[in-house]
Structure 1
Amino acid sequence: MKYKFITIEGNIGVGKTTLANALSKRLDARLILEEFADNPFLPKFYENPGQYAFPLELFFMAERYKQLKDLLHTEDLFHSVTVSDYLFTKCLLFAKVNLGEQEFHLYQKLFDIIHQQLLHPDILIYLHAPVKKLQENIKKRQRQFEQAIPDDYLFSIQETYTSYIKQHNLKTLFVDASNADFIDNEKHVDVILDALQRKYPVGQHYITLP
């Protein structure tokens, strides 16, 4: 495997965790999954975004930082590859959508201090799917607090991700996940694994699933 630290990103409900689980099994990799369920502000945020956005984002940043620092700075003798279902920069991207201008500037200062202390992934896998498909997936997984997420919010997150990736010229496998099935269709996982065997220059490299 040419990449030792692989990160998967994408919008809410696109299949990040499902793909991370599949890749970690096939690669015998160490798996880092976001512990979103432990955030006590998440259900409250969806009910009242204005009041709970700032504590929500602070909690996420602190938890993600602790998890990544503890795991990535600890040598793993049994796994040569690490797969994560989130990019630490997602803190800043969601904060940009969720916070007001003054709160975001404060948040960004804290983010910049913390971000430089972490290891960065060797390659990013970005899963992209239409908002209609995201809503279908969200309904299927039946997390109660997610069921009323509006389309506009998902569009905003999508645009923020794609803009960030293009502006920062990250080494990215940009996957069309419109018909992705990483549980029952092994060919879809095979396509990703095959792509990870190649060397890429910095930039976006587009992948279509069969």
Structure 2
Amino acid sequence: MILMAGMIGTGKTTVAELLSQALDTETFYESVGDNPILPDYYVDPKRWAFPLQIYFLNTRFKTIRQAMSHENNVLDRSLYEDLIFAELNYEAGNMTKLEFETYSDLLETMMEEVGAGNRRPDLLIYLDSDLQTALHRIKQRGRDYEQIDLHPELLHYYTTLHGKYREWIAHYNKTPVLVINSDQFDIYNEQDANELVALVKSTLEELQLATV
């Protein structure tokens, strides 16, 4: 099992699909388009932060459990990075201390469940990117509730999120990690795409040898 991680706009879903095709396996997606809470959260984060975090946590837990029933797969996001968003909401005053502690305890229980025994994911691929590239991709994606032009306060949120992600990956130790600078790969370019796939394959081979 391969997990993708990285800030909004780093290309997680696109890379996940590339790897799934190259490795002849299945992609499991985060539920965003049909998320009934996300648009409301962007309008009133204090009201919707806690329900949103629980919604994400539940859907990501279901997805990773579903993925575990398959021998090989790629997840475009997982619950391992979920705490980043909860911390942002708590620090911004959108979640109470009790809500944050309740959420954190539930997250830890779920991570213990999916990481037990030989079910631990094989590799987490962290897609790094500079902030401006991520913001450009967010704009290209075109979801109204993510756009800085429509919601200027999001610039501070994205800037803080970018720093939080880099802090998180520096201390992450739940699974093996491969850090890829997504600014250096244009995966719509065949040569770049092949180089990225080769890097992932060689990392998986090294990990397999290390466990023999």
Report the TM range for the smaller structure's normalisation.
0.7 to 0.9
Give 1:186 deviation, angstroms.
2.0
Aligned position for 1:181:
186
Match of 1:206 in 2: none
Note if contact 2:67-2:73 (Cα within 8 Å) is conserved in structure 1. no
Structure 2 Cα separation of the partners of residues 179 and 43 of structure 1: 32
| CA displacement, residues 111-163 of structure 1 (integer Å, 9 cap, x when unaligned) | 11222111432111111111111111111111111113623212222222222
Corresponding residue of 2:83 = 92
1:47 aligns with 2:43: yes
- Aligned-partner SS, 2:17: helix
2:156 counterpart residue number: 152
Q: Are 1:128 and 2:152 an aligned pair?
A: no
Find 2:13's aligned residue among 6, 17, 40: 17
Q: Does 1:113 align with 2:104?
A: no
Unaligned 5+ segments in structure 2 are none
Shift of 1:200: 5.4
1:59 corresponds to which letter in structure 2?
Y
User: What's 2:53 paired with?
Assistant: 57
Written as runs of structure 1 = structure 2, the 5 A alignment for 1:63-74 is: 63-72=59-68, 74=69
Moved runs in structure 1, 4+ residues, more than 6 A? none
The counterpart of 1:35, out of the listed 31, 35, 39, is 31
Determine the C-alpha separation between the residues in 2 that align with 1:179 and 1:101.
40
TM-score by length of 1: 0.83
Question: How does the TM-score come out when normalised to structure 2?
Answer: 0.82
Per-residue CA shift, 1:51-102, capped at 9, x if unaligned? 1111111111111111221231x2x4xxx53111112112212111123351
Alignment-mate amino acid for residue 177 of structure 1? S
Letter in 2 for 1:9: A
Gaps of 5+ in 1: 202-210
How far apart are residue 107 of structure 1 and its match?
Answer: 0.7
Q: Which amino acid aligns with 2:124?
A: L
Q: Distance between the aligned counterparts of 1:126 and 1:136, measured in 2?
A: 19
Asked if the contact 1:131–1:151 (Cα under 8 Å) also holds between the matched residues in 2, the reply is no
The amino acid across from 2:77 in the alignment is Y
Matched-pair identity in %: 30
User: Is it true that 1:193 corresponds to 2:197 in the alignment?
Assistant: yes
Q: Secondary structure at the match of 1:34?
A: coil
| Cα pair 1:33 1:86 within 8 Å, conserved | yes
Deviation (angstroms), 1:48: 1.4
